[in-house]
Structure 1
């Protein structure tokens, strides 16, 4: 009768710790990731709103800052007392936070308009400008970044890298003035200012329930002449602001495509005879887009900051144009409300970008 022979046991190496079974990587799912990122919006907006409030108050109360040389001392003291700016700063701060939570951003000092009305009226114009600029940045930055990666360390690559630096370093207002000089004054092919001509604006305002987004309203209107007019007015502001971000996208795509082309699976495809243009177009293109989506939230903040100068240059009636106007008037109540809304937009945009990045690349969730 044959007995089973057990395999020989290997004695453990002296000083070696016993091997532990490999456990699954720790991390939360998509739901937990979304919850955490959503909760981070609250402290982000809170910190930004707090900083703006105390920076605005560092120059004194808003009534004195805006109307100091226009009212008598008695009238000034009366206005300050009515607005409650003679109370302790912490009391004003708590009251301001409470009003923001209810959607009340105060009333402007210079023209006595509710700040909420300004945000609703002009916010759509700024969002539309940022949309046009982002389209320009994607159309210019991504293809040129791929071209620069394909011609790495050659003349086209060097030229495009210099172009990217110029796009990022050139002030937005200077680029806008150059574009107006060339295309509006010298060539006379594009309008110099505004979101649309007077006739088109009248037609858009007479629509039923206009959204304030001229492009969307023009499409709904179904008038090709109005749609063409809106697009013509958006070309120069969109290019001036979009080139600011296009340089960032160009360099980012170039760096990531070059990194992807050195991967093992690219070498395997190259050994099978796949051409270099096809490798860039088919294999290295999509992995290079993930960093673009990741940094897009930060670029939205940059575009919103650049919108202030762009709207002033092209008289684009948006939040940036109004912000510059109220800064000149030293109307800090209006400035606080506009900056608070911009902070919310940036925080929500980064939240959306984080979710999209997690959906595309599951590694982001861990």
Structure 2
């Protein structure tokens, strides 16, 4: 039989050997997660490379029919697309290791495209994640508190609709209702043309309009930027809100069945108070573990959202490159996004490991 030595303050602290074992387990877990970044990126960039080469060489795809055959052949030779595929692949991997993700047909480095349009996508994803938290978590807690009632069923249907509705369709419906019918909010762009000119002319502009507008201290600019962000953020955020709602509901219900919650319930504590004081914190831990996956989903949804609302970010620019058949740019942007997603997932795993010890074992 195991016994515990008690002191006036309660059980003794864990022995040093046990603490050392716990610490080594944490660092082993983090090391494994860090090392997994590299095969993940390798698989993603290899897949992107092969998919882009299925259509043939990028020069012919983008400029075929626009240049005479001799000039086209010269461009293909200069770019090295007439060499064996394995040689192109090895050089492609080498350039990525050097941080070179290629250039567009017009000669613009992909890293410059990221710096120019990445701020807009980051801004939209941040607003969408805020919408997901504000909508998904409270409604998930509410659904758990009224579980197995008609309100719970309605909220579960709402979560399914949020997750299953295509982002572009949700965006079009939002534009139809709040822009065309009601006229409350703008239907496209990141800001009014006049405001965009002012924000882009600010010395040291970040490209994130919310930050740049706040730096000016002018409420008219801030209000204009926020109004343009509402509909795109809702369209993209509801996609993740549905996931959060169902996840929080499931975990809160599981927590409410714990013995210590039953003891509080037997003392007459109301169900809403049990959710608010006992169940919501444990239910938030799984949210952290899925944020990385949701960020990847948001980056994918950003392509359709930015195209629907003409939001000049990476997603919108990627769709423009697809239209112009600039597959080198598409390949570079997708590979760069793959790196960002892999690193983001690692950061989320680190945070989850420090918050929830169960993740490490």
Task: Answer yes or no: is 1:338 the counterpart of 2:350.
Answer: no
In the alignment, the residues of structure 2 paired with residue 360 and residue 340 of structure 1 have an alpha-carbon distance, to the nearest angstrom, of 31
Displacement, 1:71?
Answer: 1.4
After superposition, residues 285-324 of structure 1 pair within 5 angstroms as: 285-324=280-319
Task: Answer yes or no: is 1:171 the counterpart of 2:166.
Answer: yes
Deviations 1:17-63, CA, capped at 9 Å, x for gaps: xxxxxx96966343333222222211111110111011101111101
**1:101 aligns to what?**
97
Maintained 8 Å contact 2:189/2:312: yes
Task: Answer yes or no: is 1:275 the counterpart of 2:283.
Answer: no
Displacement, 1:165?
Answer: 0.7
Structure 1, 220-229 or 259-268: larger mean CA deviation: 220-229
Task: Answer yes or no: is 1:43 the counterpart of 2:39.
Answer: yes
In the alignment, the residues of structure 1 paired with residue 261 and residue 58 of structure 2 have an alpha-carbon distance, to the nearest angstrom, of 61
Maintained 8 Å contact 2:101/2:336: no
**1:89 aligns to what?**
85
In the alignment, the residues of structure 1 paired with residue 294 and residue 110 of structure 2 have an alpha-carbon distance, to the nearest angstrom, of 26
| Bigger radius of gyration | 1
In the alignment, the residues of structure 2 paired with residue 215 and residue 316 of structure 1 have an alpha-carbon distance, to the nearest angstrom, of 14
Structure 1, 214-223 or 159-168: larger mean CA deviation: 214-223
Deviations 1:272-315, CA, capped at 9 Å, x for gaps: 22221110111010011011111111111111100000000000
Task: Answer yes or no: is 1:248 the counterpart of 2:248.
Answer: no
After superposition, residues 122-201 of structure 1 pair within 5 angstroms as: 122-201=117-196
In the alignment, the residues of structure 2 paired with residue 53 and residue 291 of structure 1 have an alpha-carbon distance, to the nearest angstrom, of 34
**2:199 aligns to what?**
204
Q: Return the TM-score normalized by structure 2.
A: 0.92
Displacement, 1:187?
Answer: 0.9
Structure 1, 268-277 or 229-238: larger mean CA deviation: 268-277
Structure 1, 72-81 or 30-39: larger mean CA deviation: 30-39
Deviations 1:63-121, CA, capped at 9 Å, x for gaps: 11111121121111111001110111111111112212222222212x33222211110
Deviations 1:118-174, CA, capped at 9 Å, x for gaps: 111011111111111100011000000111111111110011111111111111001
Deviations 1:148-205, CA, capped at 9 Å, x for gaps: 1111111100111111111111110010001001111111111110111112212211
After superposition, residues 56-71 of structure 1 pair within 5 angstroms as: 56-71=52-67
In the alignment, the residues of structure 2 paired with residue 232 and residue 24 of structure 1 have an alpha-carbon distance, to the nearest angstrom, of 54
In the alignment, the residues of structure 2 paired with residue 130 and residue 255 of structure 1 have an alpha-carbon distance, to the nearest angstrom, of 25
In the alignment, the residues of structure 2 paired with residue 114 and residue 141 of structure 1 have an alpha-carbon distance, to the nearest angstrom, of 39
Structure 1, 67-76 or 184-193: larger mean CA deviation: 67-76
SS in 1 for 2:244: helix
Aligned length: 343
Maintained 8 Å contact 2:303/2:315: yes
RMSD value, Cα: 1.5
In the alignment, the residues of structure 2 paired with residue 216 and residue 35 of structure 1 have an alpha-carbon distance, to the nearest angstrom, of 35
SS in 2 for 1:284: helix
In the alignment, the residues of structure 2 paired with residue 209 and residue 34 of structure 1 have an alpha-carbon distance, to the nearest angstrom, of 37
In the alignment, the residues of structure 1 paired with residue 145 and residue 168 of structure 2 have an alpha-carbon distance, to the nearest angstrom, of 33
SS in 2 for 1:90: helix
SS in 1 for 2:36: helix
In the alignment, the residues of structure 1 paired with residue 147 and residue 181 of structure 2 have an alpha-carbon distance, to the nearest angstrom, of 36
Q: Return the TM-score normalized by structure 1.
A: 0.91
Structure 1, 193-202 or 137-146: larger mean CA deviation: 193-202
**2:234 aligns to what?**
239
In the alignment, the residues of structure 2 paired with residue 175 and residue 363 of structure 1 have an alpha-carbon distance, to the nearest angstrom, of 37
